[in-house]
Amino acid sequence: MPRSYSLFLIALLSAGGWYFTKGPGAGKFGEVLSSIAKGDYGQIGQSQDGQNPPTAGYGNSHPQPVATTPVTSTPPAPMFGGPAIRIASFNIQVFGDAKASKPYVMATLANIIHNFHIVAIQEIRTKDDYFIDNFLRTYVNVSGRVYNKVVGPRLGRSVSKEQYAYLYDTSAIEVNRNSIYTVNDPDSLLERDPLVTMFRVRGPPPEQAFTFILVDVHTKPEKAKDECNTLAQVYQAVRRASGGEDDIIMLGDFNEDDKHLGDLGRLDGVRPVVRSTFTNTRQNNQEDNIILHQPSTTEFTGRWGVYDVQRFNNLTLNQALQVSDHYPVWAEFSAYESATPGRVAARNLGVRTQ
């Protein structure tokens, strides 16, 4: 039998970085969940608004011509009319100093970000604590739109460490500053512990605005099948810890297609948004997805896609691979909370058998 999965929910942060608490033990798991639900854990997981990081350049290279035809910085109009937001997931392959030394790549990445209201990012690899701040200031926010970020700790069981991040358009989205935490497993069943954050759409009255929790994930390719089984338990744990929020959206690089998500794909009502579609740049594999509980998240409009970096930015295949070996995947949601939410957070989600 597989080992039981003891989840510790970690969320102590300060302006200087992430500070961890040790979990109270598997026997007190319920107390940890209760504490999270009451807001006892967690501070802002990003630099404070208005806090200016040290100015830093990106490498020593000289600016190079932008080898793209920039896409419009305005998100495409919703298909079904009415206010809507687009949530994306993007594994920006080895997003770090080497990529930042190529301004044309960074400019392309900024153009891609502008197509979405929130982007969950995987595979940030840098020792620079202000890497994302500099990316936002130098490339993303020069358009006039202002994006902010939630950045997680450096994670990984090997020498190679990665960070998760959420970049979000501040005119459309706000973050719950007490909701940010990392799900940690002391049994090391996951290579990288998911980053959890609650968001709300700006614009509608707060009591009517779509509120949701994102869970950013990146499995280890060699252990993807086992990790997808573990992520089923992560999904359930985050749902129980949500304080009644029913819209739990897990997104990222699962390193499995929609038909091979293991226990995660067998949770009652839980469905992958991306189906039978390649998500990598070479267009021969599906690895990335957005997972939601269909009966609860009725705000999902049914519209989703894989953003074709090569075609939409007029790139050659080689140029597109310099951006990433993954394409972003996205889904569209109503800006308004569903009138008939499926508040089932207290109910244990079962696993479908095949």
Statement: residue 40 has pLDDT above 90 = no
Q: Per-residue confidence at 67, pLDDT binned at 50, 70, 90?
A: very low
Banded model confidence at residue 82, pLDDT cuts 50, 70, 90:
low
**Over 50: is that where the pLDDT of 18 sits?**
no
Terminus-to-terminus CA distance in the chain, angstroms? 19
Specify the length of the chain in residues: 354
Q: What is the mean pLDDT of residues 181-195?
A: 91
CA distance linking residue 26 with residue 4, whole number of Å = 9
Q: What are 211's two structure tokens?
A: 């509120």
Q: For residue 133, give the DSSP letter.
A: H
Handedness of CA 76, 81, 85, 90 (dihedral sign): negative
- Give the model confidence (pLDDT) of 258-300 as tens digits: 999 999 999 999 999 999 999 999 999 999 999 999 999 999 9
- Distances, alpha carbon 148 to alpha carbons 107, 136, 272, 277, in Å: 17, 8, 27, 30
Task: Please give the average per-residue pLDDT across 218-244, as a whole number.
Answer: 96
Mean pLDDT of all residues in 94-118:
97
For residue 158, give every residue at least 6 positions away whose Cβ sits within 8 Å of its Cβ, in sequence order, or none: 191
Q: Which fold would CATH assign to domain 8-334? A: Deoxyribonuclease I; Chain A (3.60.10)
Per-residue pLDDT tens over the stretch 123-158: 999 999 999 999 999 999 999 999 999 999 999 988
What is the rounded average pLDDT of the residues 194-222? 97
- Comparing CA positions, the residue from 34, 12, 7, 36 lying closest to residue 23 is 7
Tell which wins on pLDDT, 117 or 12.
117
Instruction: Please report the pLDDT score of residue 47 as a whole number.
Output: 33
Non-local CB neighbours of 47 within 8 Å, separated by 6+ positions: 15, 53, 133, 149
- Tell me what the mean pLDDT of segment 170-190 comes to: 92
Q: Mean pLDDT highest for which of 14-18, 67-71, 272-276, 344-348?
A: 272-276
Mean per-residue pLDDT over the chain, rounded:
79
The per-residue DSSP string of 206-262 comes to TTTB-EEEEEEEE--GGGHHHHHHHHHHHHHHHHHTTTT---EEEEEE-SS-TT--H
Separation of alpha carbons 186 and 109, rounded Å: 35
| pTM, two decimal places | 0.78
**In the chain, pLDDT over 90 holds for what percent of residues?**
69
Of 13-22, 71-80, 270-279, which one has max mean pLDDT? Answer: 270-279
Task: Calculate mean pLDDT across residues 242-254.
Answer: 96
Q: How many whole angstroms separate alpha carbon 70 and alpha carbon 116? A: 15
189 has pLDDT over 50: yes
Q: Where are the domains of the chain?
A: 8-334
pLDDT computed for residue 300 by the predictor: 97
Q: What is the mean pLDDT of residues 155-164?
A: 92
266 burial via Cβ count (<10 Å: 0-12, 13-18, 19+) = middle
Handedness of CA 277, 279, 285, 287 (dihedral sign): negative
| Mean pLDDT value of segment 81-86 | 82
pLDDT at 176 over 50: yes
pLDDT at 338: 86
Residue 56 or 20, more confident:
56
Q: What is the dihedral of CA 101, 138, 45, 99, to 10 degrees?
A: -20
Q: How far is CA 300 from CA 113, 150, 165, 321, in A?
A: 20, 23, 22, 30
* Structure tokens given for 156: 């990984």
